[in-house]
Every structure is written in C-alpha cells, then in structure tokens.
Structure 1
Amino acid sequence: MPQSDEAIRVVQRQLEAYNARDLEAFLAVFDDDVQAVDAETGAQIATSAAELRPRYERRFQTAVHCELLGRLACGDTVVDRERISGLPGGEWADCMAVYTVKGGKIVRMQLLWKAGGSQ
C-alpha cells in the first residue's frame, strides 16, 4: 500500500470522528506523543494526545462541523483545506491543517486558523 494512501485513510478517520464529535475515536488516531503546532506562530498547542483531550472536549460541546474543501498528500504528509462551522456564537473559521502520519497514527499536526465571523 502506498504511504500516501495510508496517511489519507488515517486523516479521513480523524475528520469523520471530528464531524461525529466522537472524542474517543478522534483521539485514537493520534500518537500518544503527537505534536500539535500553530502553523502561523510556531507555538505549541499540545505535546500529547492527553493535552489535546480538553481542547476537543470543549470543541465537541458545540455543533462543530468540518467541511473538507480540498486535500493533498505526499508520502506521510496530508494537507487539508477546511471550513469549520458550528463554533460558539455561530462563528466559523477557515483552516488549513498539515498532518504527518507514521505507523498509522498522526504524529504531528500543524494548524493555520482564521476566524471567519458569524454564519
């Protein structure tokens, strides 16, 4: 199986769990030592799946939904272009996420996030 195919499957499972707001299924695709980074500032968002948990527990309390606008893959890297809706206050965001997948798990996630306003 080509490396990109596996990486795409892992990232797709993450997207489906996100849209189902299934926290356990969502976190299951991340490596225990995942590195999550703000792509614009380089700031660490989380250094483990355990650190991601509270962030997404809060996020999944809303009617959040990720619309996949486009996807590119090369080797173990997948880049998704997304629109996130259902954020608190009816807000939405424009997002680009870069995932690195190794051994069937996301080991690195870089997020570029721009608030879009109310829907």
Structure 2
Amino acid sequence: MQADLVITHIDPLAEINFVDGIEYTISSGNLIKTDTLLSDSPEMLAQKQLNAYNARDIEAFLEPYAEDVKVYEFPNKLTMEGKEAMRKAYSGMFEKVTNLHCELVNRIVQGNTVIDQESVTGFGEDKFEAIAVYKVKDGKIAEVYFLR
C-alpha cells in the first residue's frame, strides 16, 4: 500500500511552525523535495527579511536576497552590492542597535515588485518613515530601493 508522508527536521509536537521544516513529501509513492513544489512569492520574501530584521537574525535576514543584490538610495544611487556587503553593514547594526524595530505600515505588491511603507525605531529618540521597494528576480530579492 502507498501512503502520503512528510519528512521534517523539526519536531512537530514541539514546534507549531513545523511546516517550515518540511524537507520532503512522499505523495502517491513519489519522493518530492519540498522546495521544488512552490517558491516563495515576492511578498513572502519581503516579509521573511522584515521578520528577520526585527529579530536581528543576520542569516535569516540575508536568505531571501540574491548573492549579487544591489541596494540603492532612491532613485538610483548604488549604496551596497552583494550579500557580503549587506552582511557587514547589517550585522554591525543588529549588534549595536538593541531596540531596532521596523513596523510595516502599508504594503503594495505588483507582480515581482513589493513596496513597503515602514516606520523604523531604534535610531535616536524619534522614529522615521521610510519606503522600501523590493524587486524580485529568479525567486530572490535582486534590488532594493530605499526612500526616506
């Protein structure tokens, strides 16, 4: 007899979000690697990096980005290029700014572009408003434009 089954590296009884840890699915006798079923939507990529930013988790923060990501000050001033440049800039910030937090105020998704209106705290006394535009290519965030 054939059965449907999932294989996970997370204990589903201990972790409510165990579905994030599903690595393989067996359906109708076929072994399927889970990451080949559905890729993350542009909105999900933007949300993953925002969640990791607020958790100050540098590895999770960088995961949605392309290796050759380009970061711009709007409209076209290149400020950073590549994941390693982001790692240096953000890991230092995550360590130094202990009360860092970005609140999503509004989000617009149009095809492979996500536009987030954000309220950021942790840099001095006042919060500031910012706009981040994420452009997704080949399942990763390839370009980011910041407007403050």
**Same fold (TM > 0.5):** yes
Q: Deviations over 1:55-105 (max 9, x none)?
A: 111221212100000000010000000011012x33432110000112221
Aligned to 1:60, the other structure's residue is in SS state helix
* AA aligned opposite 2:44: R
Task: Name the CA distance, whole Å, in 1 between partners of 2:88 and 2:119.
Answer: 22
Task: Name the CA distance, whole Å, in 2 between partners of 1:106 and 1:90.
Answer: 31
Measured at CA, do residues 17 and 84 of structure 1 come closer, stay the same or move farther in structure 2, by a change above 3 Å? same
Task: Name the CA distance, whole Å, in 2 between partners of 1:104 and 1:19.
Answer: 22
Counterpart in the other structure of 1:51: 85
Counterpart in the other structure of 1:18: 53
Structure with more helix by fraction? 1
Say if 2:65 is the partner of 1:30.
yes
Q: Aligned-residue CA RMSD in angstroms? A: 1.8
* Aligned partner (choices 115, 118, 127) of residue 82 of structure 1: 118
Task: Name the CA distance, whole Å, in 2 between partners of 1:75 and 1:68.
Answer: 19
Aligned to 1:56, the other structure's residue is in SS state helix
Counterpart in the other structure of 1:106: 141
Aligned to 2:85, the other structure's residue is in SS state helix
Measured at CA, do residues 70 and 18 of structure 1 come closer, stay the same or move farther in structure 2, by a change above 3 Å? same
Aligned to 1:90, the other structure's residue is in SS state coil
Stretches of structure 2 that go unaligned for 5 or more consecutive residues are 1-38
- Over the matched positions of the two proteins, sequence identity in percent amounts to 37
Counterpart in the other structure of 1:65: 101
Structure with more strand by fraction? 1
Aligned to 2:127, the other structure's residue is in SS state strand
Q: Deviations over 1:95-119 (max 9, x none)?
A: 1000011222100000012xxxxxx
Q: Using structure 1 for the length normalisation, give the TM-score.
A: 0.84
Stretches of structure 1 that go unaligned for 5 or more consecutive residues are 114-119
Task: Name the CA distance, whole Å, in 2 between partners of 1:47 and 1:24.
Answer: 17
Runs of 4+ in 1 over 4 A off after TM superposition: none
Compare relative contact order (CA 8 Å, sep 6+) and give the higher one, 1 or 2.
Answer: 1
* AA aligned opposite 1:56: Y
